[in-house]
Structure 1
């Protein structure tokens, strides 16, 4: 997933795969990204073309439109079609803006 790492580096917001180590989480905004599954294309009983599901979770302590715009600008630049949703995580006192796409 070198392309995904390159994309994440262009955003300019601290990121980690799945989670940050205990006690090492930066101040918001920060990003966690996951590859929760796949939707591979098969041919002749084999994986012909690999397609990974990608979740990018942007965490902020307030609604941060500029952080969202930074991320969306990079995804748009790479021509990535994404779905976006948002939730408040009361136990963490953080907003999570979730971007889902395939790569």
Structure 2
């Protein structure tokens, strides 16, 4: 799976999706995703396997377990393991749920 395929799969969930940020103001719920860093396998001054770490971020105006379930089911369907964290952004009055994944 590459990042373009992942974006299309996220769009199939019926929410607006953008890399990092939207050009225009977008009301929640929406999804953003971004590259965070790599975990490439390296040896002999070479990168043998490229492993890219991404965050998929769900933003909602209130806790929305159904939207979370949709994302989690999609990640399971795509056979992508994930870690999940959550925070409330007081200044934006939004809930943020972050899924950390790796694409190889």
For normalisation by structure 1, the TM-score amounts to 0.90
How far apart in 2 are the matches of 1:11 and 1:37? 25
Cα RMSD for the two superposed structures: 1.2
Q: By how many angstroms is 1:27 displaced? A: 1.7
For normalisation by structure 2, the TM-score amounts to 0.89
Aligned pair count reads: 101
Contact 1:32 1:57 (8 Å CA) reproduced: yes
How far apart in 2 are the matches of 1:92 and 1:9? 23
Stretches of structure 1 lacking an aligned partner (at least 5 in a row): none
- Is 2:12 aligned against 1:10? yes
- SS of 2:74's equivalent? helix
Q: List, as ranges, runs of 4+ consecutive aligned residues in structure 1 with deviation greater than 4 Å.
A: none
Aligned position for 2:96: 96
How far apart in 2 are the matches of 1:53 and 1:28? 24
How far apart in 2 are the matches of 1:38 and 1:86? 22
